[in-house]
Amino acid sequence: MIIKSGGEKVSMGRSIGKLGVVVIAICVISLVGAVDVFAAKKRGKSKYKTVDVSNGAALSGVVTLKGKAPAVKKFEIGKFPQPEFCSGVDTKDGVRVLNDVAVGKGNGLQDVVVVIKGIKEGKPYDLKKTHVDMDVCKFVVTGGPSQFVGVVSPTVNFTVTNKDEAPDPKTGKVIGVLHNPHSFGIAPKKNPSTMFNLGMPEKGQTLSFKKDMKKIRRAPVMKLQCDQHEYMQAWFRSVRHPYYALVGTDGAFSIDQIPPGKYKVIAWHPILGEQTQEVTFSAGAKESVKFEFAGK
């Protein structure tokens, strides 16, 4: 049966009369209402809760790259402002190198975030803030072990400090190097959307973007770039609880105090994408996983 928006029955089968149409309309309205309430409850429930985890499980693992890493990205430093000062790091023969697929010992893939998905309660979540320095025209994610990749959260402050100053090419006077941190929320099948975008001209200036971080609810990934210097880039994975880890320089990671259960474990790399494995944790168990990303 097809019903126009006004409730008029327009075709198909036997007539059900006006009363039938009204009953169906009421049912549809009730159903929509129920779905709304359900969604609201689900949203409320998604808030992470700290509880005592006795006899929790542990996960360790390693992320590796099979094959050769893709070529590094190269930028002619002379095409961007303050080339002399900015050539202070990662630059040779006027070319700034951005090594965004870095491999360490034993083909360990660096700059990967591993997240156990769907945990609603467990050990304390103590991510206080995410901080990035702009240092010799490079974003440096603090807290380690990666300086290129970190984590963000919708409720956690994101701060950026400009540490750069250089002689003005015209006057020779030392002034702050203008950086313009611009962040994008990145979600599958959607265009990147700006989260914050502000010029920072002074050395020693720190900006805080707590409100803007709420926008990450709609995207699992945030990319940070400088609108003055395209080669300045950093990436962040959104997390809502403490069951995540950044891999070390050898691609290894570990996560502890995991409440028993069956979860999806994802390994995310900003350039190579995401892989998922399902892992069942029983109380006190020590599980291990291996993720292997394909290179060239």
- Long-range Cβ pairs for the range 210-215 (8 Å, 24+): 210/156, 210/157, 210/158, 212/158, 212/183, 213/152, 213/153, 213/154, 213/155, 213/156, 213/157, 213/158, 214/154, 214/155, 215/154, 215/185
Nearest CA-CA partner of 137 in 208, 76, 86: 86
Residue 225 interacting with Cu ion (CB under 5 A): no
111 vs 133 by CB, closer to Cu ion: 133
Q: Which of 65, 69, 113, 226 binds Cu ion (CB under 5 A)?
A: 226
**Window of 5-13, 114-122, 173-181, 193-201 that interacts with Cu ion by CB under 5 A:** 173-181
153 vs 228 by CB, closer to Cu ion: 228
**Window of 8-16, 107-115, 118-126, 225-233 that interacts with Cu ion by CB under 5 A:** 225-233
Cα–Cα distance for residue pair 158/181, rounded to 1 Å:
12
CB of 101 to Cu ion, least distance (A): 22
110 vs 183 by CB, closer to Cu ion: 183
Q: Which residue is listed with tokens 């950044």?
A: 246
**Window of 63-71, 171-179, 183-191, 258-266 that interacts with Cu ion by CB under 5 A:** 171-179
**Window of 67-75, 201-209, 227-235, 245-253 that interacts with Cu ion by CB under 5 A:** 227-235
Residue 130 interacting with Cu ion (CB under 5 A): no
CB of 41 to Cu ion, least distance (A): 44
- With H, G, I as helix, E, B as strand and everything else as coil, classify residue 270: coil
C-alpha angle 85/233/177, rounded to 5°? Answer: 30
**The one-letter amino acid at 214:** K
Residue 229 interacting with Cu ion (CB under 5 A): yes
146 vs 225 by CB, closer to Cu ion: 225
Nearest CA-CA partner of 261 in 121, 110, 109, 151: 121
176 vs 295 by CB, closer to Cu ion: 176
| Lookup: tokens for 172 | 């020779």
CB of 136 to Cu ion, least distance (A): 10
Cα–Cα distance for residue pair 143/139, rounded to 1 Å:
13
Q: Which of 219, 228, 241, 269 binds Cu ion (CB under 5 A)?
A: 228
CB of 204 to Cu ion, least distance (A): 15
Strands 49-50 and 121-122: parallel
9 vs 163 by CB, closer to Cu ion: 163
Q: CA separation (Å) from 226 to 143, 172, 181, 238, 291? A: 21, 24, 5, 20, 31
Burial class (CB in 10 A: 0-12, 13-18, 19+), 185: buried
**Window of 115-123, 188-196, 229-237, 280-288 that interacts with Cu ion by CB under 5 A:** 229-237
Q: Which of 138, 179, 240, 269 binds Cu ion (CB under 5 A)?
A: 179
Binding site for Cu ion (CB under 5 A): 179, 226, 228-229, 232
